Structure 1
Amino acid sequence: MIKASILRSSSLVSICVAMTVGACAGSAFAQSPASEASRGVEDIVVTAQKRSESIQDVPATIAAFSQEALQERQIRGLGDLITRVPSLQVGYTYGSNTVTLRGVSTNLTSGFEDPSVAIHVNGVYQARARSLNLVLMDLERIEVLSGPQGTLYGRNATGGVINYILRGATDQMEAQVTGRVGNYDSYAIQGHISGPISDTVGFRISGMLDHRDKGFVKNLQPGAAKKRFGENKFTGIRGLLDFQPSDTVQLTLEGSYGNTRGSFNPGVLAPSLNPARQPRLDPQTYRPQKVYADYPSENNTKEYSATATLVWDISDDVQFKSISAYNKYDNAMPIDYDGSGFNAQTILQNVKSDTYTQEFNLNLDSIDGRLKSIFGIYYFNDSAYADTEVISALFSPTSTPTSTYFATNRLKAKSIAFFTDQTFSVTDSLRIIGGIRYNIDKKYTVQFIRNSCPNAANPGVTDQKFTAWTPKAGIQFDVTDRIMAYANYQKGFKAGGVAAGTCGNAYEPESIEGGEVGLKTTFADNRVRLNIAGYWYNYGNLQVQKTLGTIGGFSVVNAADSRIKGIEANLDAVITPQFKLDASAMVQSAKYKDFENCNQTIVLPAGQFACTASDTRPASERVEQVAGNWLNRAPPYSFSVGAQYTADLGGGELSLRGESYWSGKVRFNEFNTSVLSQRAYNIQNAYVSFTPDSETFVLRAFMKNIRNVNYKASAYYSGLTAQYTVVWNPPRTYGLEASYNF
């Protein structure tokens, strides 16, 4: 039995890696010769530029994870990607994933506002940040494209794009079932069956049941009906039909349904800043993964999706593609938001939406293949509404909960865009890149806010229209067959809107423009791949979420200006046929250049709150200049290293992998408040797998966050309780998994 002291030792992975390296060095020349393919670094074909090409041919920073890598490293969510994408940060706020790439992020959390990193599933943009469980059922590949991608992907790709590619129908009959058990009473079973129905029709059916019955967060409230929070129970099914009536036409129809039941309950970091309120909030705890809660919080989602993809090879040089999609989303999240045994802030929220998207692409090769062109049209139609109610007994002399705030929000968003991307080969080694996109975005918002707005009897109506040109230009040069250099410039933008739950708080679009230069190299007989990129961006008018007074709602303001610059690198090396090494690193500066704002975490004398109607200070004293402060969720550095050793056991293959990840300090608000920050931290993961020579089954074991490090996923200020609120990342998790191939 492994002792706890060993599990907590910071040198565990270092020892494992050292042992692995030693074993590898001692046996490298005793192994049988490996094929050229097994000796080289795996090449991954990606579709990040809406056409299939080697990852080394893409003139941009892109990280891709194959199906094998996803399984080996137990990648089952966005948070599992940070150890291999150096500029990626993933948080969790108010039931939503918060994604940051290269310092570009958002802290908008109502479920209505747009993200700063666009997420696509099989080419379909995902409008709701809380809906990603469906992709885990049948994942083939993940692509992470860093930096603004305003030309090919349009709005909401200011920080980059994450593409999830799901598996399709197979030419031969196949089936697989996978079972998993782990700590926190987790268990899962998933499987698929796929193959041909006829010469022209294929199918695929996949399903998944993934439960974690014991949540990470322990409820210390005596007699509470719910003892833990953070459990997650997902059930889903996906079906696909693939029609190929001729060699040139393929139509794929797919549909899926997912049901997620869980809970979300934030904790607190310190006593209330208002000494008059703290006594009513007792008892509280400020320890990680522990909370007092008198309300059985939930976070339940149902989601339906349907997609039709038509690919028509008109000729050898012309391809037409159509992607039509519909998504229905329904989320209910009643949560205890105050982290105390007193009913100070219970939030009841329901969000529903219906989203339709349509994209047409035309890919052409012309001038004897020297000009590669993409022309596209994109249409987006989103109809969503949210009802939010805050129930509190904080101000009641009898401690009787009453409704202190109620908001109804209706949103109709439409977008249409026209875009083109061109790559021209001047010579066999030199290529010039150019493109442009024109976006038209319209948003129609209806809001009713009870007890808050001056004319609450009449709904507030806001009609907005935003347009933007987002060009790109670049150059690409093959220094040798194994070295490619590139430089590019690109713009991106994110539409404005109206903050949900406010009295018509409209905010403007944000924009980003800048460049990237990089080298993509492979050498040592294709055993080493090293990619390096430098980037710099002017990031303007970024949208920043603010706490609304004492009711606990949020508004949005636009920060004037910020600057981002950095360098990142990725290394993959096959040291021997049995030993592989990978590493990634990033250093950056991501800071506000000009932004004046009122600091809502300041409590004035007599318990008055800053930035509210009770703040009687002169206007010049109410604002604070945060120029020079770090952007939210933008660490100054990150570094990861992984080592994998594969041994032949004489009847199968044993694979051992260890990895370690370091992150610099992460700030969660523009004032860089110390308590609302995560200091630099380091985590380790380990994986073991065994595959017999027959490849009929695979056995895996894993352990993540080996030292059980407590580190923040997000931290923010709650206006009603005047407290610093926190969500922690998962603690140590481990488990066993087995897959059987039929």
Structure 2
Amino acid sequence: MPNQFTPVICLFTAASLPSFAQSTNDNSEQERTEVIEVTAQKKVTTLQSTPIAISAFTGNMLQQRNIDDLSNLQSYVPALHVGQEQDGFKISIRGIGLQGTSSISDSGVAFYIDDNYIARPAGGSAILYDIARVEVLRGPQGTLYGRNATGGVVNVISNTPKDYFEAKAGVSVGERNLRELRGLVNLPVNEKSAVRFSSVYTEEDGYVRNLSDEPGTDDFFGTDGDVTIKGQYQYNADDDLQLMISANYSDLKGTGVNMTYLERNIGGPPPVRALLATMPEDPQDPLIADNNTEAYNHTETASTFVRLTKTFGELEGFLQASYMNQKSRLQQDFDASPVDISIFNKEQDSIAKSVEARLSSSSNDVLTWLLGGYYFVEDTFIFRRVRLNGLTPGGPISLPDFLLDEDGTSETTAAFTSATYTLTDTLNLSAGLRYTSDNKRGVKVTRGNFGLPFPPDIPNDIYSGDASFSETTWRLGAEWSPSSDILVYTSASTGYKAGGFNLTSNGLPYDAEQLMAYEFGVKSEWLDKRLRINLDSFYYDYEDMQLTTLTTVNNAPGQFTSNAARSTIQGFEIDSRYIVDANWKLFFNYTLTDAEFDELFSTDTRDPAPVFNELDPAGLGRTDLAGNKIPFVPQSSVQTGIEFGTEVSNGGYITAALNFLWQDDMYLREFNHPEIDKVEAYTRTDATVTYAFPGDALTLTAFITNIEDDTQKTNVYVSPGFLGFSATSAYSRPRTIGLKLDYQWE
């Protein structure tokens, strides 16, 4: 795909749209496209009047489509990918996201709950319960948001306390012994304040079966009982002061993610090699395991934030402070076999604190502006333990444990501003500026190394365990509204993600990411707002993309992050909806993306005996990967859907929805190995049918997701060298059938 295709698409888009200009005035309000309000620009605007690439879904839309966790959202949001590794999930947008999972790693996509940044998100269906909407912003963000984001933002926005009584209760049942209980209650305290509480409890056997009958093992990799509780208090004073206090607690108990081996490359010390050779063949079905070790993944998170908003005449002030404490405990059968070879343990404790302050002008002014400041600090301690067994002529032996302490701190201070000037009634110009200062500090201590000499600790004489970065990023944009139903927008912006150093391995530094992004789009509505056609084109010039792999350095396992010198990501998206009449709605989305590395030299740790010398990082015998595809980006994807709703004779209402996704081939690592990294093109079809009983208090929903019952690799993780560098993966959820029953009191 030539580099010049983006301007061509932009010109074609602008030239072709007027041919759709038709209007009818005899349509009822029920036949028009729903108006979705968003706060992506820190003010209330409609989805159609927001001049950025954004997808938004109301809570009702999520319920109708049975989108109950972030992984389900992938079928509806262009270029969004959600994978999972060990004790957290990884989000990427247009190929930009999280690579490393060390204590000082940053994500390229910022995840928020109620405008509160979550550095290490964890959780399932509870995240999307009792919410007002989900907003997914694509492209660099930072001149409006407290946390800098190179690839985009995912913001989950909860329902807030109301001044009336409301209560809901629901239950879900489904395949694999799915059982979920959920409920909420909203209570007005007095005429100025109210409280709201919600909770979700979920159990599921899981979809990866474990054949082992060893003591402590489970039959499935699933959820033993996840509990999430959320409480909110809101106070509205007479002087335009609003106070919000929110507290969240989740306790997620499960067996974790199974390591399905895609290959078996035997390595490590001779006794370990001998024991690995006794393993039977792996099950052919990737959803069947034979792990002889108890597996668990227990993550407990408590967070709270306090928010004050105050109107001062034509100005609005915003102040929010947050605190989060997360503890996780993980155990995996590292060899994923019925032979007792290796067990991995990880314990992680994180404390994150942030403060954000903003002052903004009235949205009715000719010149609107926003000025903000942000501070974030996270302290994370990670303990890793690997137990390793081997076989000698004299019998089985146990090697001394590998023990690694990692203690890291990430600190960010930022100031940001943006302004929009109304040049004419139809033309607005905007500009934004951000200064970000990041500091990364870390300590690594190896307390055991399978009986081998210890690698150097950090800090040491060469690496101080301290690195600082700073960057000024900016955004320029223009938006033109030739009519009330058409918005044309364009922007140029820069993005940045802090660099760091390889804390878990050899201490080598890696550079910050730099992104130059160009965007052009058109949002339009036709046929008296029954037809919506939104088009967006983008071009990214990406420098120093951070790529992380697991390897062995100085005879010890650890993560190693390096930079891809240059990359290019370009593409366009079509998002359209058509309301045929009061009963039928049609949806069609298409995304085309060309994302590849222009300059990248790297070594696949799966290759025989890769040698890493921290004093000579350029002498790795690396492979030229220029032209390879960037991970997690399919070249094309198509999403179509249909919704039908009608009232039945007894006064009830039936709604049915069918969604179809086709996604092109993509790769999960930069090496683009055809057998290991490639995810073949696939389809996924979801369907729901909801019956609202007369009065709308009681609803019953039948759902089926992934009708094809097809599963795909979601992430590739290379096992460390003490077992042999072998690729493993996790797999997406197969077909699920279930029922949901909900009752609402008002």
Same fold? TM cut 0.5: yes
In structure 2, how many angstroms separate the alpha carbons of the residues matched to 1:281 and 1:95? Answer: 27
- Given that 1:284 and 1:341 are in contact with CA atoms closer than 8 Å, whether structure 2 keeps it comes out as no
1:478-489 residue pairs with structure 2 within 5 A? 478-489=481-492
The answer to whether the 8 Å contact 1:296/1:335 transfers is yes
1:686 & 1:133 partners in 2: Cα distance? Answer: 18
The answer (yes or no) to whether the contact 1:133–1:258 under 8 Å persists in 2 is no
SS of the residue aligned with 1:91?
Answer: strand
1:199 Cα deviation (Å)? 1.1
Q: Distance in 2 between matches of 1:371 and 1:395?
A: 74
* 1:270 matches 2:270: no
Once the two structures are superposed, the pairs formed by residues 518-597 of structure 1 within 5 Å of their partners are 518-549=521-552, 552-597=557-602
Which has the higher mean CA deviation after the structures are superposed, 556-565 or 506-515? Answer: 506-515
Q: Which residue matches 2:717?
A: 716
Relative to structure 1, is the Cα distance of residues 575 and 401 closer, same or farther in structure 2, using a 3 angstrom cutoff? farther
- Give the deviation of 1:406 after TM superposition: 1.6
Deviations 1:264-315 (A, max 9, x none): 2211112326595651443422421112211111110111111111110111
State the distance in 1 between where 2:543 and 2:266 align: 32
What secondary structure sits across from 1:559 in the alignment? strand
Partner of 1:150, secondary structure, is: coil
Q: Deviations over 1:449-497 (max 9, x none)?
A: 2336543498775111110111000110002111110100111111122
Give the letter for the 1:147 counterpart.
G
Q: Who is 1:656 aligned against? A: 656
Which of 47, 72, 75 does residue 67 from structure 2 map onto? Answer: 75
1:97 maps to amino acid = F
Q: Determine helix, strand or coil for the equivalent of 2:319.
A: strand
- Alignment partner, residue 23 of structure 1: none
Q: 1:173 aligns with which of 157, 160, 165?
A: 165
Using the TM superposition, give the Cα deviation of residue 679 of structure 1 relative to its aligned residue in structure 2, in angstroms. 0.9
Q: CA deviation at 1:87?
A: 1.1
> For residues 52 and 457 of structure 1, do their structure 2 counterparts lie closer, same or farther at Cα, with a shift above 3 Å needed?
closer
- Structure 2 residue aligned with 1:96, among 69, 75, 88? 88
CA contact (8 A) 1:96 1:111 kept: no
Match of 2:4 in 1: none
User: Against the structure 1 CA distance between its residues 355 and 346, is the aligned structure 2 distance closer, same or farther, given a 3 Å change threshold?
Assistant: same
> For 2:626, what is the secondary structure of its paired residue?
coil
Which sections of structure 2, spanning at least 5 residues, go unmatched? 1-24
Q: Does the CA-based 8 Å contact 1:269-1:286 persist in structure 2?
A: no
Query: Aligned equivalents of 2:128 and 2:47: distance in 1?
Result: 23
Q: Look up the match of 1:671.
A: 671
Q: Flag the 1:132–1:311 CA change in 2: closer, same or farther, 3 A.
A: farther
Q: Deviations over 1:568-596 (max 9, x none)?
A: 11111111110011121111110000011
Shift of 1:644: 0.7
Supply the AA of the counterpart residue of 2:63.
Q
What is the distance in 2 between the residues matched to 1:336 and 1:572? 47
**Gapped regions of structure 1 (runs ≥ 5):** 1-32, 604-608
Question: Deviation of residue 407 (structure 1)?
Answer: 1.2
The residue correspondences of 1:104-503 to structure 2 (distance < 5 A) are 104-110=96-102, 112-130=104-122, 135-153=127-145, 156-212=148-204, 214-223=205-214, 225-231=217-223, 233-264=225-256, 265-272=258-265, 278-315=276-313, 317-365=314-362, 369-394=365-390, 398-450=395-447, 451=449, 453-456=454-457, 461-503=464-506
Contact conserved, 2:175 with 2:738, CA < 8 A, in 1? Answer: yes
Partner of 1:704: 705
The 8 Å contact of residues 583 and 644 in structure 2, kept in 1 or not, is answered as yes
Note if contact 2:27-2:528 (Cα within 8 Å) is conserved in structure 1.
no
Do the aligned residues in 1 keep the contact of 2:87 with 2:328 (CA within 8 Å)? no
Deviation at 1:678, TM superposition (A): 0.8
Higher mean alpha-carbon deviation, 51-60 vs 427-436, is at: 51-60
Aligned residues: 700
Query: C-alpha separation between the residues in 1 aligned to 2:391 and 2:90?
Result: 32
Judge conservation of contact 1:355–1:382 (CA < 8 Å) in 2.
Answer: yes
Aligned-residue offset at 1:216: 1.2
Task: Quote how far apart the aligned CAs of 1:338 are.
Answer: 1.9
Q: What residue in structure 2 maps to residue 8 of structure 1?
A: none
**Residues 436/308 of structure 1: CA separation in 2 closer, same or farther (3 Å cut):** same
Summarize the Cα distance change of 1:442–1:245 in structure 2 as closer, same or farther, 3 Å threshold: same
Given the superposition, is the C-alpha separation of residues 58 and 458 from structure 1 closer, same or farther in structure 2, using an over 3 Å criterion? closer
Alignment partners' CA distance in 2, 1:153 and 1:545: 26
- 1:621 Cα deviation after fit: 7.6
- 1:414 to partner: Cα distance: 1.6
1:466 and 1:601, CA in 2 relative to 1: closer, same or farther beyond 3 A?
same
Q: Which moved more, 1:550-559 or 1:248-257?
A: 550-559
- Paired residues of 1:150 and 1:491 also in contact (CA < 8 A): no
Q: 2:534 aligns to what SS in structure 1?
A: strand
> Contact 1:600 / 1:611 at 8 angstroms: preserved in 2?
no
Give 3-state SS (helix, strand or coil) of 1:308's partner. Answer: strand
Counterpart amino acid of residue 290 in structure 2 = Y
* Kept in 1: contact 2:84–2:714 (CA 8 A): yes
Q: Counterparts of 2:742 and 2:729 in 1: how far apart (Å)? A: 37
Distance 2:619 2:133 in 1: 52
Q: 1:178 to 1:304 in 2, by over 3 A?
A: same
1:723 is displaced (CA, Å) by 1.6
> Structure 1 CA distance, aligned partners of 2:198 and 2:620?
60
How far residue 155 of structure 1 moved from its aligned partner, in angstroms, is: 5.3
Q: What SS is found at the alignment partner of 1:256?
A: strand
Question: Which residue in 2 is equivalent to 1:695?
Answer: 696
Answer with 353-362 or 129-138: which moved more.
129-138
SS at structure 2 position matched to 1:135: helix
Tell me how far 1:417 sits from its aligned partner.
0.6
Residues 93-148 of structure 1: CA deviation (Å, up to 9, x unaligned): 22321212112133323464111111011111111143576533432210000011
Distance 1:625 1:179, change over 3 A: same
Deviation at 1:44, TM superposition (A): 0.6
Q: For 1:216, give the aligned amino acid.
A: Y
Partner of 1:14: none
Contact 1:154 1:439 in 2 (8 A): no
Tell me if the contact between 1:84 and 1:583 (Cα under 8 Å) persists in the aligned partners: no
Q: Distance in 1 between matches of 2:419 and 2:148?
A: 22
Change (3 A) 1:326 1:133: farther
Question: 1: distance between equivalents of 2:125 and 2:96?
Answer: 24
| Identity %, equivalent residues | 26
SS in 1 for 2:362: strand
Distance 2:454 2:488 in 1: 56
What CA distance in whole angstroms lies between the structure 1 residues aligned with 2:618 and 2:153?
Answer: 40
Distance (whole Å) between structure 1 residues aligned to residue 390 and residue 290 of structure 2? 16
Amino acid of the structure 1 residue aligned with 2:588: A
* Alignment TM-score, normalising by the size of structure 1: 0.90
RMSD: 2.3
Distance 1:281 1:152 in 2: 54
Q: How far off its partner does 1:510 sit?
A: 1.1
Contact 2:103/2:380 (<8 A) preserved: no
Distance in structure 1 (CA, Å) of the matches to 2:519 and 2:658: 32
